[in-house]
Structure 1
Amino acid sequence: MVRKWYAIAAEIPALREDLRRLQGNETLLSPHDAERLDQLRVALKQVEEEMEHDETQVGRWREIRREIREIERRGNTLDPHRYQRLFNMEEEGRPAFHDWIDPRITPAQRASRLEEVIATIEDVGREIAKGIEVVQSALHRSIAERALPPASGEHRRKRLEGELRAIEERRKETRQRRNDRRKRLAIVLGGITPQNDRPLSEWARRAREKIKEEIETLRRKIEEDRTFRQAWAPILETWVNDLENPQTVQNDRKFLLDAYIEACNVVGITCTERRSTLVEKGHPWFDVVIVDEVSKATPPELIMPLMIGRKGILVGDHRQLPPLFREHGASWEEAVAEQAEEGDGEQDPSSELTQENLERFRKMVTASFFKEHFEKADPSLKSTLWTQYRMHPEIMRVINHFYDHRLKCGLEDPDTTRNHDLTLHRRGRAYVTPARHVLWIDSSKDPTGHPYHERQEEATSKVNDLEALLVAACLIDLERACREAGYGQNGKGKKRVGVISFYTRQIRAIREMVKRLQKEEGLRFSAIHYDVNTVDRYQGQERPIVIVSMVRNPPWRLSRRANPAKFERINVAFSRAQELLVIVGAKDVFADYPVRLPAFDRPGEEKSDRIYRRIIEEIDRQGGFFRSGDLLSSEDCRFIPPNPTKPKRAREFPGERRSSHRPRRPKDRRREG
């Protein structure tokens, strides 16, 4: 039922366009018919000129005239297929959609009725959204209550105390703003305040007179200052122009830079910078040291910052990226998992990247150091910010699966401030509409319905050509939609789009596929600015539109330590989007993939959950789940190589029965160098 409702809601932009054309007495032609009509009119004019010398053109002239009349007839009515889909019931034994295409009904009557229909759909939509929100909240509360450990009373008390502190803070801020406004009003009114024994209208009259006096006083003051401004304005303008002169800046730099740095009271620097850099510039100590993105810092990296400050403030999210094993590479845990997966679970004894070493130095190379101290800290020393202002609530609901559904949206009107206002079409249907903010495009199978697997390049880097094609197709559609919306034209900037993946070779494959489709379509990007990069490069950033390529779809079962199990990376990738999130991933891999999710603020607790399945199901309920065949045709398969791998034996997760559809990866000790 909900899926049918979202299908109806997806038609609202088309209904609004019909309404606009009806109210403006415009033609109801589709873009294709309008273009064809222009071509026919040009051809008709040419045939009429030829008829003056060649009477045999009369038959062609009649044929063109007949086609023109047919298109014009269609332009005077609505699309019968759309209204037959929407109004498929019967009224008094007569199909209801006939009333919409009846030529006897005037455009004004159609417009009036269509306006009522749109208003009704939107009213029902708001009620359905409220109902879904209530049901989801009830389900989340029920799940949370059932999943709480025996000591849940203490946990609930702490959580309620935190919420109470947040309410108290907001109350203090509101009271402060109210007092500030009262003070400003008292200054303007010169002590005029309402009296209980006098009518409010008398106070308002006196206040208005006082404000008029203040305005007149300010006007006289401006006139008195005019002479002063006229005398000093040229001098000040010359001074400002001199300061803005690049040559002046260059000359002053060598004389003022050292003094400027020494006088700074806010200094930004990395955790790994040499201590002598600060000492040489006159900053050996600080009153407060703030370490941002602390979840990515190892304990050795925190030693120097915390030693040079009287007070330390650590800001981070241990549900996001852990420390990296190497620059632009995977984390230590992922590097160990990659090596184990290559060796079919066995590890190279000559390598230092072993599970044994990882366990020995876990606190130095993972985010557990920050998590452990955050959990053990006294409540007076820590605080959690649950209100986010970045993303639309639909995107937030996806991220909330990683945060025990505690995140809240602080945007007053997210449907306006986070409205992408774009409609993307593929294969005769709209898969992105202004009302849709999250999509999952399934890459388990190619458009012909056959499984399509990843391939491996450059030793451990993975490539999924089908996902690269899907991402490139989305970018092409975004370019066209943004052009229609006016981006990149008349002073309106380009729409910024972020493309995120977890493997460097996949990034290269996406860039190559985009160039190939651009050449095929003869299209240059002038309305969007897109950036393809790894999730590590995107931490701390945000984009209005984000496309995530999940890549993994091997013919064997994934290790539990494989990349997708590291939910922190997925969390960062998904949470970069503000208006629209498009996830391209293999449902067959992720729907049944277990993720070990630690408790947010309770030590020693961890649960295994099918989080990706719940994310996919939630997106599907909102009508945002599509398969590759919904966007691509079988002809589009010419852009990708044949399925690179063939299934063999199945690998099973510990404690699970063997599955015949996910085979075991064959042993291969060879490494590409």
Structure 2
Amino acid sequence: MEPLVVATTCLGINDITFNFRSKFDYCIVDEASQVSLPINLGPLRFSDKFILVGDHFQLPPLVQHRDPKIVQGLSHSLFKLLAETHPESVCELTYQYRMCEDIMSLSNVLVYNNRLKCGSSAVANQSLTIPNANAIDEFTSGSVNQRWMDNIFNPKNKVLFLDHDQLDASESVVGETVQNSAEAKLIYQIVEALVLAGVDQDKIGVMSFYKAQLRLLKRLLSSKTEVEILTADQYQGRDKECIIISLVRSNQENRAGDLVKEWRRLNVALTRAKSKLIILGSRAALLNTETTKTFMDFLDSKGWYYTLPPGAQTTYNFQATPFSSPTKKQRRSQVSITSILHKNPTLKNVVDDITK
């Protein structure tokens, strides 16, 4: 009854203590753009005025239901509804203190129409410190032109897209799972190189849009226990000095995949990095989708695009965790499990939670 400020989750208003104190001057809801409308309405009834804080240009509320109409309806947050209906009530906080200027420019071009600004010159100019770039020399073979890791170690390259179209780096699809073992091995090499060069593991984050790819990356990077390996959705609200993104999709049809087409998810992915952003993917696939084509064109205009040379995966002889492709029996088993999970959404949710 006495504190001037009381903190709770939106669902926490059901606590018995709110039976005794049911009126406040203000209700401030943080991350309101990620909360479904009914849940957001609950705490507002306790206050005379309310303030919603969020960004509806990032991921919407997560809704799981068999009826797509219900999912679509509940995916529109109260924040988004009010922001679009009453723009005069919106106050944009345009100064950000996470990303360097180069990384910020990606979101400015894709989403924010150059409204974002760095909060200080220190933020704008920050770069990833690599204490000993020569530490990987003993693991390097091939000519100078094949030393693609030099592009990553260059402090001026704060955003870098590595195109693996010239490599044998096609995706593999088993049932509903998609992964790319060649891309995973390249990411293993990047992480290994950064750690050998003196970058702290807890400053590195690895991200993918596909859970099968995350499982593969966790196997390869099992010895790097402080490197966070998460989906883009799991990374929302988090950040790292260096983020490495595995886009996975690389196929003869040049399909980029639906997950990358969701511009809000792409926006979240790009804005998790503070000092260095490294993206691995297929240029040919990304040029086939309007959102990602705009993204690729911007990278080209900035000179932040690099084509990995043939044989790039053998230029550095770091000893990766042994990896082998699934056998025919394992693939049949995976397809069978996928079929069972598809028929039982509740069981699928349980399995997804366990394998996050």
TM-score of Structure 1 vs Structure 2, range by shorter chain:
0.7 to 0.9
User: What secondary structure sits across from 2:165 in the alignment?
Assistant: coil
The structural deviation recorded for 1:263 is 3.3
Counterparts of 1:635 and 1:420 in 2: how far apart (Å)?
Answer: 21
| TM alignment of 1:383-394, pairs within 5 A | 383-394=91-102
Letter in 1 for 2:269: A
Structure 1 residue 543 and structure 2 residue 240: aligned? Answer: yes
Identify the residue that residue 513 of structure 1 maps to in structure 2: 220
CA distance in 1, matches of 2:165, 2:2: 59
Name the counterpart of 2:354. none
Q: Flag the structure with larger Rg.
A: 1
**What secondary structure is seen at the aligned counterpart in 1 of 2:50?**
strand
Alignment check: 8 A CA contact 2:11 2:39 kept: yes
Query: Cα offset for 1:374?
Result: 0.7
Counterparts in 2 of 1:445 and 1:283: CA distance versus 1, 3 Å? farther
Maintained 8 Å contact 1:470/1:628: no
- Secondary structure of the equivalent of 1:431? helix
Q: More relative contact order in 1 or in 2 (CA 8 Å, sep 6+)?
A: 2
Structure 1 Cα separation of the partners of residues 118 and 264 of structure 2:
21
- Give the aligned partner of residue 313 of structure 2: 632
Give the structure 2 partner of residue 592 of structure 1. 288
Number of the residue aligned with 2:297: 614
Q: Distance in 1 between matches of 2:286 and 2:243?
A: 19
1:269 has 2:8 as partner: yes
Contact 2:242 2:276 in 1 (8 A): yes
The 5 A counterparts of 1:61-210 are none
Partners of 1:471 and 1:559 in 2: CA distance: 19
Quote how far apart the aligned CAs of 1:552 are.
Answer: 2.2
Q: Secondary structure at the match of 1:553?
A: coil
Indicate whether 1:474 and 2:213 are aligned: no
2:268 & 2:87 partners in 1: Cα distance?
28
Indicate the percent of aligned positions where both proteins have the same amino acid: 25
Instruction: Measure how far apart 1:286 and its partner are.
Output: 2.0
Distance change (3 Å), C-alpha of 1:443 and 1:366:
farther
Q: Does the C-alpha gap of structure 1 residues 364 and 415 become closer, same or farther in structure 2, counting only changes over 3 Å?
A: closer
**Alpha-carbon distance in structure 1 between the residues aligned to 2:253 and 2:3:** 57
* Residues 93-492 of structure 1 mapped to structure 2, 5 A cutoff: 262-279=1-18, 282-326=20-64, 352-353=66-67, 357-358=68-69, 362-367=72-77, 370-379=79-88, 381-401=89-109, 402-414=111-123, 418-422=126-130, 423=133, 428=144, 429=147, 430-432=150-152, 433-446=154-167, 450=168, 452-457=169-174, 459-482=175-198
Mean CA deviation greater in 466-475 or 631-640 = 631-640
Distance 2:157 2:21 in 1: 51
Residue of structure 2 equivalent to 1:671: 339
2:86 is aligned with what amino acid? A
Write the letter of the residue equivalent to 2:118: C
Question: Separation in 1 of the partners of 2:216 and 2:325?
Answer: 15
Tell me the equivalent position of 2:228: 531
* Other structure's SS at 1:569 match: helix
Q: What is the CA–CA distance in structure 2 between the aligned matches of 1:460 and 1:370, rounded to whole Å?
A: 33
Partner of 1:566: 262
2:353 corresponding residue in structure 1: none
Q: Deviations over 1:369-416 (max 9, x none)?
A: 53342122152x211122212111111111212212221222223465
Task: Name the CA shift for 1:509/1:291 in 2 (closer, same or farther; >3 Å).
Answer: same
Structure 2 counterpart of 1:498: 205
Structure 2 CA distance for partners of 1:434 and 1:572, relative to 1, 3 Å? same
Offset at residue 453 of structure 1 (A)? 2.4
**Is this contact kept in 1: 2:63–2:74, CA < 8 A?**
no
Unaligned runs of 5+ in 1: 1-261, 327-331, 333-351, 488-493, 519-524, 596-608, 645-669
Aligned partner letter, 1:275: N
Consecutive unaligned residues of structure 2, counting only runs of 5 or more, are 328-337, 342-356
TM-superposition CA deviations, 1:474-508 (whole Å, max 9, x none): 1101101116xxx5xxxxxx652111112222111
SS of alignment partner, residue 197 of structure 2: helix
Give the Å deviation of 1:629: 4.2
| Alpha-carbon shift at residue 305 of structure 1 (Å) | 1.6
Match of 2:346 in 1: none
3-state SS in 2 of match to 1:370: helix
Q: What SS does the aligned partner of 1:482 have? A: coil
Would you say the 8 A contact 1:318–1:370 is kept in 2?
yes
Partners of 2:280 and 2:84 in 1: CA distance: 35
CA distance in 1, matches of 2:244, 2:87: 40
Q: Distance in 2 between matches of 1:366 and 1:460?
A: 27
TM-score by length of 1: 0.43
C-alpha distance in 2 between matches for 1:509 and 1:278: 46
Q: Is the 8 A contact 1:591 1:616 kept in 2?
A: no
Summarize the Cα distance change of 1:268–1:507 in structure 2 as closer, same or farther, 3 Å threshold: farther
Q: How much has 1:635 moved relative to structure 2?
A: 9.2
**How far 1:583 sits from its partner (Å)?**
0.9
CA RMSD across the alignment: 3.3
Q: What is the deviation of 1:568?
A: 0.8
Contact kept in structure 2, 1:442 and 1:628, CA below 8 Å? no
Once the two structures are TM-superposed, the CA of residue 563 in structure 1 deviates from its matched residue by 1.1
Indicate conservation of the 8 Å contact 1:441/1:628, yes or no.
no
Whole-angstrom distance in 2 between the partners of 1:582 and 1:391:
14
> Structure 1 CA distance, aligned partners of 2:32 and 2:259?
22
The Cα of 1:556 is off from its aligned counterpart by: 3.5
Contact 1:437/1:579, CA 8 A, preserved across alignment: yes
The alpha carbon displacement at 1:277 in A equals: 4.0
Secondary structure at the aligned position of 2:55 is classed as coil
Q: Post-superposition shift, 1:631?
A: 4.3
Q: Which residue type is aligned with residue 263 of structure 1?
A: E
Gap change, CA 1:553 and 1:640, over 3 Å in 2? farther
In structure 2, the CA distance between the partners of 1:277 and 1:440, relative to structure 1 (3 Å rule), is farther
Change (3 A) 1:295 1:547: same
Matches of 1:325 and 1:538, distance apart in 2:
18
How far 1:672 moved relative to its partner? 5.3
Distance (whole Å) between structure 1 residues aligned to residue 187 and residue 309 of structure 2: 11
Instruction: Provide the C-alpha distance between the structure 1 equivalents of 2:123 and 2:297, rounded to a whole number of angstroms.
Output: 24
Q: Which AA in structure 2 matches 1:571? A: N
TM-aligned CA distance change 1:635 to 1:578, over 3 Å: closer
